[in-house]
Amino acid sequence: MNPRARIILGGLAAVYMLVVLRAFHIQILGVRGIQERSARQYPVKIPLVPMRGAILDRVGNELAVSVATKSIFIQPDKLKSTDSVAELLARRVSRPVSEIRKLLSSKKSFLWVKRQMPSSSAEEAVREIREAVGTDKRGGDDGIGIVEEPKRFYPNRELASSLLGFTDLDSTGIEGVEKSLDKYLKGEPAFLMCERDARGRIIVPSTTEVAVNSRGDSVSLTIDRNVQHLAESELREAVEGHNARGGIALVMRPKTGEVLAMATLPTYNPNAVAGGAPEARKNRALTDMFEPGSTFKVFTLAAAMEMGNVKTSDSIFCENGSYRYAGRVLHDTHGKGWLTVPEVLKYSSNIGASKISERMDPDRFHDMIRSFGFGTKTGIELIGEVGGIIPPRARFGGIRRATVSFGQGISVTPIQMATAMSAVVNGGKIMKPYIVREIRDPEGKVVYRGEPKELRRILSPKTSERMREMMGLVVQEDGTGTQARIKGFSVGGKTGTAQKVEVGTGKYSPNKRVSSFVGFLPLQDPELMILVVIDEPKGQVYGGVVAAPAFNQIAVKTAYYLGIPPTEPVTRAVARKEKEAQKPGEVQLTRVSSGAPEGAMVMPDLRGFSMGRVVDVMGRYSVKLDLVGSGVARHQVPAAGRLLVPGTECSVTFGGS
Amino acid sequence: MNIGKRHENLILFFCTLILSVLGVVVVFSATSVTAGSSVRLGNDSAYFFKRQVLFLVLGASLAVLLTRIDYDLYRRRIWLLVLGTLGLLLLVFIPVVGHTANGASRWINLRAFTFQPSELAKFILIAFAAWVIDRNGENPRKGFSAFLPVLVVMGVFVAAILKEPDFGMAVVITASLLALLFIAGFPWKFLAGGFVVGLIGVVYLIASKPYRIKRLEAFIDPFSQAQAAGYAVVQSLIAFSNGGLLGTGIGAGKQKLYYLPEIHTDYIFSVVGEELGFAGVVAVGACFLILVWVGFRIARRARDLFGRYLAMGLSTVIGIQALMNMMVGLKMLPPKGMVLPFLSYGGSSLILHLAAMGVMINISMKGAEAFVSDSDRRGRRNWRTRFSGDSSC
């Protein structure tokens, strides 16, 4: 060959080798700048709702869970849209056709049509649309698809709704526990990873059903679902029975500050938030202030006793019901003459309380009120709490001090009242109220544990004991709270009835009242602190009549449910209940006649009962009740007809109906 | 290495087949998404595919036809071819007849199709150079002046092509013809002088058009203006980078999603790099190199000097154009609009390159015939008798 031809051929071969080397450099060795740019230019992240953590009660029952739903998206630039597609889509997702048409003609490259639909109906809708536009049934990049997204679901509907709160469509907590603990529950942001072309159009991966990996922490509350349920149903009975505007019931453990139930009325269904009134959504146990009325006398007496200004043996002259003081006349409902200090509480004498408060230094009394926690937030983990209003220290004298001594001219929240009252009876310690039992990350590791926290000591154990005894008198014969009495347990408590301050005028309303009862049991070693507040009852307004019966029912059922050992023989109680139970269709409670231990009963057949009904029925026995699962009762231990002794452990398993 | 004429023809045939069929596949892959969503193209994702298949059939038919036509025809009709082509080349500047795209008037409008005369000019100029060499003989005593007609005619053609403008084509033609003249014995000193003149010319041409300066800047640092002038180069590099060793697989590339402009023509090699990876790059490059090598083998045993230089010229021009296209895609040369022979989408290019292969096979066949019949019209057998040992093929 011509040597010059060899040069040309060789030259071309050499250039080819250079090309191969260059390609080797870029393709095999890799150039970081190019690779980074490549990695940067395709990905598009479409935010999805992360799998929110569950809210559980203290034994693991689900109060709020996230369930898998399907969301339908369209890509208007890819979907062959016709009028029939718009109509089909509109019908399937129940949105107006005009709206769907607008979506279909949008310039955006990714749009949600309907979010969080039931899986089957979303799939059916997409299948139908695909048939209509004639694309492969299995889909692909045809402009319509499904992405899995979780939706918040509250299996117990209204139960604890104002406490739990709710979330918006994007799984952000809006109220209640959902909002307060949002940072734990929410989980890491989740994304649908897509790619885009150079024109910004989004290419959704062919497997559009993306599992959501991101999960939030689950929160276990101190709430017990069954206690919450019975507190709510008893509260409802009281509110409806007295045509009241609303009500609040709190069940706490006075020794620890744990909240076992926090019920408010009116209520709403958090699964359909749109239907709930704003009034129903707030957690009134924290946000509502009320003038406590007579229940506040407990604190006046406790303060005076603690500071040594009175002794239980002291007698107070109660002016036969009418007492002129600092230019005003104080009245008692039932005028009395000389009363001992415990009797002042038992008969709830305003004049007596006022005279006791006169014995105290106003500043020190004021300090004590603050120490009880009034005027400041309790610090419970929930948002929206208010601090209440107490008169300023500088103007805390004369008539103002006198009215505060019996609960007027001071505003408190239910949680403050329950917390302060717990301190009075638990030996004198202010326990910080708490509602979060523990928080676990998705792997089950505990990231937070709620523990009892003593904030400060305000009373000596001796004063506390005296106060318990005095409050026990309130429910005794001719006290104001006789309806709070429970057979089987010795209880203590205090009634309260206060005029409401009219919003706007700031004056006392002539007929609107807040009736309350705060009580605890057992008297000597309190395990339960229960507060019932009824807002604007009609007809009867006295706390001892309106709120005490609800307290009674909550207390007896909770005590039996939790297996708190009775302090008194229960035979009489059962006998009385037995008579009440003899209604058609009701469970027959059979007392075992002879040879059986005192108070022994026979286990009824619970199968087919709802959990609420089981709690109602079993609440009449002094047994330990263990409820497992949800739905209707399927299985029980012991079997129907077996002997029940107080303290027996009963287990009922629930299942789907 | 000794391979017979039939083997040479077979290798040529298979290299052409592999490249052009791969071209059809890659063009389909590169255009299906964009054509499918283009209202102008009737949302026909196979628009470019169908047309390329048509071009392939037409080109293959033409190539078969040309294997049957003695290439001596082109020698005898050379002035007709040269003047006819020049006429076509000038037609592009006439409005209505000429078709302008992306600011360049390179095409003649044929309603549903367009024709690019510069693709034809490329081959006709090769034929013209072969004709001149055939008349004067290799290493002519007249020296430089013997090649002067080639330089003059080339100058006219290149001037017309630069006017379109089609800088890339001008470079390819100039480089190929100079290579051919070099083989034929073009004096070194003139080649060196021509190189200097050419360099000055290139610098002048680049400086005269701002967009060429931009392209050069983009070439030097494409990432600094990745969204502007350097965009295509960067996207091409990303395509190669995405490909890795074996590529993403045919159809699975992402750069065709509007990232890489002119992907089915100028940057089709980047699609090969992305979807078939380094392996595809090496294989496609090797096909071209084998094609050039076989072309030179055919040239060696051609019947006459015209056939010999025609064969070498056709091989050289295809080889140079292919390598320059690859080097642009790999950022080894500044960007210039230039297709990859056989693979890029385009009727003129594919049909004419296939036709050139037809001519090449004809040269090969005639060379063998001449040897067997031992009849040499022009009495230039002396250079060929060295290969008598190949007669058994």
Domain assignments of chain B as residue spans, ordered by start: 2-381
The CATH label, of 3.40.50.880, 3.40.50.2300, 3.30.10.20, 2.60.40.10, for the domain at A569-655 is 3.30.10.20
DSSP class of residue B391 equals G
Per-residue pLDDT, B367: 84
pLDDT at A508: 85
Q: What share of chain A has pLDDT > 70, as a percent?
A: 90
Q: Is the pLDDT of residue A26 over 70?
A: yes
Between A564 and A276, residue with greater pLDDT: A564
With CB atoms and an 8 Å threshold, state whether A16 touches B277: no
Note the pLDDT tens digit of each residue in A251-260.
999 999 999 9
User: Among A469, A471, A460, which Cα is nearest to A493's?
Assistant: A471
Is some CB atom of chain A closer than 8 A to the CB atom of B323?
yes
How many Å is the Cα radius of gyration of chain A?
33
User: From CA B232, how far away is CA B236, in angstroms rounded?
Assistant: 6
A1 touches chain B (CB under 8 A): yes
Burial of A359 (0-12, 13-18, 19+ CB in 10 A): middle
Contact A473, A479 (CB under 8 A): yes
Across the interface, whether the CB atoms of B242 and A38 are under 8 A apart is answered yes
Q: Are A225 and A64 in contact (CB under 8 A)?
A: no
- In chain A, % of residues over pLDDT 90: 41
Q: B interface mutation test: which of A1, A6, A12, A202 has the most B CBs within 10 A?
A: A12
A contact test, residue of B139, B231, B237 with most A CBs within 10 A: B237
The two tokens of residue A41 are 């230019």
- The CB density around residue A640, as the number of other CB atoms within 10 Å, is 11
Instruction: Please compute the mean of the pLDDT values over residues A98-106 and round it to a whole number.
Output: 84
Model pLDDT, residue A575: 40
Q: Which of A559, A551, A521 is nearest to A534 (CA)?
A: A551
pLDDT score recorded for residue A590: 43
Question: Is the CB of B285 less than 8 angstroms away from the CB of A19?
Answer: yes
Where does the pLDDT of residue A429 fall: very low under 50, low under 70, confident under 90, or very high at 90 and above?
A: very high
- From chain A, the residues in CB contact with B309 under 8 A are none
Distance CA A247, CA A537 (A): 9
List, for residues A198-208, the tens digit of each pLDDT value: 877 777 766 55
Q: What is the pLDDT of residues A369-405, one digit of tens each?
A: 999 999 999 999 999 899 999 999 888 888 899 999 9
Q: Domain residue spans in chain A?
A: 46-55+64-156+191-216, 225-562, 569-655
Give the model's pLDDT for residue A602. Answer: 67
Q: What phi, psi does A317 have (nearest 5°)?
A: -85, 125
How is chain A split among helix, strand and coil, in percent rounded to 5? 35, 25, 40
Size of interface A-B (CB pairs under 8 A): 105
Q: What are phi and psi of A144, to 5 degrees?
A: -140, 145
Closest-CA residue to B276 (of B251, B259, B294):
B251
User: Chain A partners of B33 at a C-beta cutoff of 8 Å?
Assistant: 197
CB contact under 8 A, B182 and A9: no
Please tell me the distance from the alpha carbon of residue A78 to that of residue A94, in angstroms, as a whole number.
22
Asked if B367 has any chain A CB less than 8 Å from its own CB, the reply is no
Report chain B residues whose CB lies below 8 A from the CB of A7. 182
What b-and-e string marks burial along B13-30, b requiring 16 or more CB atoms within 10 Å of the CB? eebbbbbbebbbbbbbbb
Q: Which residues contact A141 (CB under 8 A, 6 or more apart)?
A: A78, A203, A204, A206
Over residues A53-88, the pLDDT tens digits come to 999 999 888 899 888 888 888 888 777 767 778 888
Amino acid A405: pLDDT: 93
Could you give the CA distance from residue B234 to residue A33 in angstroms, rounded to a whole number?
A: 10
Mean pLDDT estimate for chain A: 84
Q: Which residues in chain A are closer than 8 Å to B234, comparing Cβ atoms?
A: 34, 37
Q: Check residue A569 and give its pLDDT.
A: 66
Question: What is the structure's pLDDT at B359?
Answer: 96
Fold exhibited by the domain A225-562: Beta-lactamase (3.40.710)
Q: Is A19 on the interface with B (CB under 8 A)?
A: yes
Residue A275: pLDDT band by 50, 70, 90 thresholds? low
Among A585, A656, A594, which residue's Cα sits nearest to residue A617?
A: A585
pLDDT recorded at residue A657:
55
Test A8 with B179 for CB contact under 8 angstroms: yes
Angle at B129 between CA B125 and CA B131, to 5 degrees: 115
A9 with B245: Cβ contact below 8 A = no
Q: Is B107 on the interface with A (CB under 8 A)?
A: no
Q: Is A39 on the interface with B (CB under 8 A)?
A: no
Of the candidates B258, B320, B327, the beta carbon closest to that of A198 is on B258
Residue ranges of the alpha helices (H) in A338-493?
341-346, 350-358, 362-371, 398-405, 414-425, 461-474
Within an 8 Å CB–CB cutoff, is residue A7 touching chain B?
Answer: yes
Contact A22 B182 (CB under 8 A): no
Tell me the CA distances in angstroms from B324 to A20, A408, B22, B234, one per residue in order. 13, 96, 19, 17
Sign of the C-alpha dihedral computed for residues A121, A126, A128 and A129 taken in this order: positive
pLDDT band at A140 (very low <50, low <70, confident <90, very high): low
What is the predicted pLDDT for the residue at B189?
80
Enumerate the residues of chain B whose CB falls inside 8 A of the CB of residue A4: 182-183, 185
ipTM of the predicted structure? 0.89
Look at B183 and A8 and tell me if their CB atoms are within 8 Å: yes
Cβ contacts of B237 on chain A, cutoff 8 Å? 26, 31, 34
- CB spacing of B327 vs A15 below 8 angstroms: yes
Closest residue of chain A to B36, computed from CA coordinates: A78
If one compares B187 and A441, the residue with the highest pLDDT of the two is A441
- pLDDT over 60 (residue A595): no
Pick A46-55+64-156+191-216's CATH classification: 3.40.50.410, 3.90.1150.10, 3.30.70.2110, 3.30.1280.10.
3.30.70.2110
* Band of pLDDT at residue A213, cut at 50, 70 and 90: low
**Interface with B, mutate which of A22, A27, A38 (most B CBs under 10 A):** A27
Q: What is the pLDDT along chain B (393 residues), one digit of tens a residue?
A: 455 667 889 999 999 999 999 999 999 999 988 888 777 888 888 999 999 999 999 999 999 999 999 999 999 999 999 999 999 999 888 877 888 877 778 888 887 788 899 999 999 999 999 999 999 888 877 777 888 889 899 999 999 998 888 888 999 999 999 999 999 888 888 778 877 887 888 888 888 878 777 777 777 777 766 555 578 888 999 999 999 999 999 888 888 888 888 888 899 999 999 999 999 999 999 999 999 999 999 998 898 999 999 999 999 999 999 999 999 999 898 888 889 999 999 999 999 999 999 999 999 998 877 766 554 444 444 444 444 434 333
Q: A313-332, pLDDT tens digit by residue? A: 999 998 888 898 888 888 88
> Could you give the dihedral angle defined by the CA atoms of residues B233, B234, B235 and B236, in that order, rounded to the nearest 10 degrees?
50
Chain B contact set for A30 (CB, 8 A): 241
A14 lies within 8 A of chain B by CB: no
Q: How close does chain B come to A79, measured CA to CA in Å?
A: 11
Does residue B281 belong to the interface with chain A, where contact is any CB pair within 8 Å? yes
Scanning A63-82 for CB atoms below 8 A from B yields 77-78
Nearest partner of B130 among B85, B92, B76, B168, judged by Cα? B76
A454-468 tens-digit pLDDT:
999 999 999 999 999
What pTM does this model have?
A: 0.64
Helices within A242-349 (DSSP H only): 278-281, 284-287, 297-306, 341-346
Chain B CB contacts of A194 under 8 Å are none
pLDDT tens digits for A568-592? 765 444 444 444 444 444 444 444 4
Single out the residue of A503, A501, A500, A504 nearest to residue A514, CA to CA: A500
